[in-house]
């Protein structure tokens, strides 16, 4: 059951990053690509019907983590308290910007919320990337299973690190570039005209940056966590993960040059998904490594809930996920196609 629940949580986090990732990417690019108020409205409307639904996967992942691995939930949510509060306020700011921007037809009002939308989306991407890098690097767990991380210390990877150091900053930058590229490719699919062309150009430039950062990320991970590749050496089949990462990067540029926009976007989705799967593969069976000693690692066996709860929970989880998938299929089908400025609200 531990193996099953580990990958169920991983799948929900992948779904969140892939789906809400393009929302964040649109927010990051919002002030750079739009040259007029109609274009800004088009960018907002491209995510308007789906952005709040996409965030359901974050809540579902957190809830499942609490249910299946209560020790991990208790430890991580206390140790990352400062970072989680920042993320919470950024999520609130982003939601406020999307919902209130069009309530008053006043230039300064719209500009204010455009700024909040950009800052919130950008910092969320950075914090998500840094959070994943913190998990890969490890945290200073104590015998009682708890830890505390300041925002930063001396920027070195050490037994007593901060949330931000040279490695987690690399993780944050990779997430920022990857999600901006994901958002650009989404805009290429959903828009037309000059805005679409600018999104296409932005995607090409961001792809180069992402390629360089991806190459840097592997040796950086090995330096920060020397046992990162142990599971790959033990199970050579796992080397399919970096192979798929390379293929997804090549697919983005291949389909982009052929103007097969949906193919490029799907390759971007694959890149995000497989990068996260690669991280989970490197960690397994650890959920949260310790920088203070292997004996303090929070592992699946140590954090797993009781067997009866897990069996009953699997039934209810399956029912809930079935309903969620039905909802997403209906919503994305209803709002398929290009975005226009016709109608009220977020209609296409």
pLDDT 10s per residue in the chain (348 long)?
Answer: 889 999 999 999 999 999 999 999 999 999 999 999 999 999 999 998 889 889 889 988 888 888 899 999 889 888 888 888 999 999 999 999 999 998 888 889 999 999 999 999 999 999 999 999 999 999 999 888 888 888 788 888 888 888 889 999 999 999 999 999 999 999 999 999 999 999 999 999 999 999 999 999 989 999 998 888 999 999 999 999 999 999 999 999 999 999 999 999 999 999 999 999 999 999 999 999 998 888 889 999 999 999 998 999 999 899 989 998 999 999 888 888 888 766 544 443
CB of 291 closer than 8 Å to CB of 137: yes
- Measured in whole angstroms, how far is the alpha carbon of residue 174 from the centre of its chain? 11
Structure tokens at 28: 């990051």
Q: Which of 268, 239, 273, 275 is nearest to 251 (CA)?
A: 268
- Could you give the dihedral angle defined by the CA atoms of residues 242, 169, 167 and 238, in that order, rounded to the nearest 10 degrees? -20
C-alpha–C-alpha distance, residues 277 and 328, integer Å: 22
Could you tell me where the beta strands, DSSP code E, fall in the chain?
A: 286-288, 298-299
285 prior amide bond cis, ω within 30 = yes
Positive or negative torsion for Cα 217, 222, 223, 225: positive
């Amino acid at each position: 059951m531990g193996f099953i629940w580990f990958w169920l949580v991983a799948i929900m986090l992948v779904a969140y990053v892939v789906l809400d990732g393009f929302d964040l990417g649109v927010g990051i690019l919002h002030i750079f690509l739009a040259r007029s108020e109609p274009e800004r409205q088009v960018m907002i409307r491209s995510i308007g019907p789906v952005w709040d639904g996409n965030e359901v996967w974050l809540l579902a992942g957190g809830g499942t983590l609490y249910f299946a691995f209560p020790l991990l939930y208790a430890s991580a949510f206390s140790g990352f308290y400062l970072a989680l509060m920042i993320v919470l306020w950024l999520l609130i700011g982003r939601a406020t910007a999307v919902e209130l921007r069009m309530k008053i037809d006043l230039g300064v009002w719209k500009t204010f919320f455009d700024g909040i939308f950009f800052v919130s989306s950008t910092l969320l991407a950075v914090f998500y990337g840094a959070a994943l890098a913190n998990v890969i690097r490890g945290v200073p767990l104590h015998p009682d299973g708890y830890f505390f991380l300041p925002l930063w210390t001396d920027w070195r990877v050490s037994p007593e690190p901060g949330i931000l150091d040279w490695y987690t900053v690399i993780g944050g930058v990779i997430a920022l570039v990857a999600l901006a590229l994901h958002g650009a490719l989404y805009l290429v699919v959903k828009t037309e005209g000059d805005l679409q062309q600018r999104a296409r150009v932005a995607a090409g430039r961001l792809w180069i940056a992402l390629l360089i950062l991806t190459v840097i990320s592997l040796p950086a991970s090995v330096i920060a966590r020397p046992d990162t590749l142990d599971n790959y050496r033990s199970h050579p089949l796992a080397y399919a993960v970096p192979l798929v990462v390379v293929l997804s990067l090549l697919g983005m540029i291949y389909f982009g040059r052929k103007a097969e926009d949906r193919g490029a976007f799907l390759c971007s989705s694959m890149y995000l998904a497989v990068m996260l799967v690669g991280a989970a593969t490197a960690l397994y069976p650890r959920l949260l490594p310790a920088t203070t000693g292997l004996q303090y690692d929070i592992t699946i066996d140590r954090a797993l809930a009781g067997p009866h709860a897990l069996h009953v929970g699997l039934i209810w989880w399956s029912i809930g996920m079935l309903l969620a998938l039905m909802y997403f299929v209906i919503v994305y089908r209803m709002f398929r196609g290009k975005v226009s400025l016709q109608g009220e609200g977020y209609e296409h």
